[in-house]
Amino acid sequence: MPAPPNDARSREGQVVSVRPSGSDGVILRVALEERLPPLRAARFFMLRREDRLSPAIPRPFSLYRETASGELEFMIKVMGQGTQALAKSTPGTKLRVVGPLGNGWPALTGDGAPWVMLAGGIGSAPFYMAIEQALAGMDGQAKCKPSEIFYLYGAAKADMLYELADFQKLGVAVHTCTMDGSAGKKGHVLQLLEELQSAGKIPKSVRLLACGPEKMLEAVELHARKNALECWLSLETLMGCGVGICNGCPVPTVPEGPMGAWPNAKCCVEGPVFKTDAITLCGAH
């Protein structure tokens, strides 16, 4: 399926609500001037406040959820100035919203190996709609049965498993792990995957989707290469413009791979989702 076109239009948005999520996150709900057409999961928007609290350069965020009335929700981990400003918004705060941008996950069809979704902390943001869309079928594609999706959710500690209760209501198998053992299995998502596969709860042949910290994605890429699994990564590369102009978001490509001879892809316009036959974070291919 071809990637959806970028819509680099800049729109005014208005904050509807901000509520805390986990120990260091917020769920920011935004109303736009106009309703957007259906959006594929893992597409993203560049956001900043209209006032001077936000840095001049907007920050990229995956779409977390869309409400029935078309309001957009973002799940945001508060890091530096840009995310702090967004987290301090109140209902009515004016935002600049550029998007939807990027390609989103591939079509999550139910006609092959099961999908294993590996989320690390705030990397869970692009998975909520992915599960919803896979179960509902999108763009006329074959729906997934709940038994064809496994959501493996890892974090440093229990209160960084943002919105876990909502993921658990989606009707697919949700397994958790934390590095400190405060929730689920102690360890990281690949250890959890291997344990579930050894116990026969997840088949060996699966299709992987992953989003999380770069070190986690490097490990997932290596795992996919070693086991010859199809694998897509949604990258959270630092970005400047978000629309392909500044060259600020390079991702190393596999030499002479599907992306051709150019050594770097642009995460914002050619991603943020890449198949691991096309790019390499760990340098292997």
Closer to ligand FES at the Cβ: 4 or 240?
A: 240
Q: Should residue 100 be labelled a site residue for ligand FAD when binding is judged by CB under 6 A?
A: no
Q: Do you know the residue count of the chain?
A: 285
Q: Should residue 125 be labelled a site residue for ligand FAD when binding is judged by CB under 6 A?
A: yes
Q: Should residue 61 be labelled a site residue for ligand FAD when binding is judged by CB under 6 A?
A: yes
Alpha-carbon Rg of the chain, whole angstroms? 18
User: How far is Cα 93 from Cα 37, in angstroms, rounded to an integer?
Assistant: 24
Query: Between residue 176 and residue 215, which ones bind ligand FAD under the rule CB under 6 A?
Result: none
Taking the CA of residue 100 as centre, how many other CA atoms within 13 Å lie in the half-sphere pointing to its CB?
24
Q: Should residue 59 be labelled a site residue for ligand FAD when binding is judged by CB under 6 A?
A: yes
Residue 107 DSSP label: P
List 31, 239, 251, 259, residue binding ligand FAD (CB under 6 A): 239
User: How far is Cα 145 from Cα 109, in angstroms, rounded to an integer?
Assistant: 10
Do 81 and 54 touch, CB atoms closer than 8 A? yes
Residue found by looking up tokens 């493996």 in the block: 152
Q: Should residue 26 be labelled a site residue for ligand FAD when binding is judged by CB under 6 A?
A: no
Closer to ligand FES at the Cβ: 240 or 257?
A: 240
Report what 31 binds from ligand FAD, ligand FES, none; CB cut-off 5-8 Å by kind. none
Interacting residues with ligand FES (CB under 6 A) = 239-242, 244-249, 266-268
- Residue 150: what are its φ and ψ, rounded to 5°? -125, 125
Least Å from the CB of residue 284 to ligand FES = 24
Residues within the interface to ligand FAD (CB under 6 A): 44, 59-62, 74-77, 79-83, 122, 125, 236-239, 272
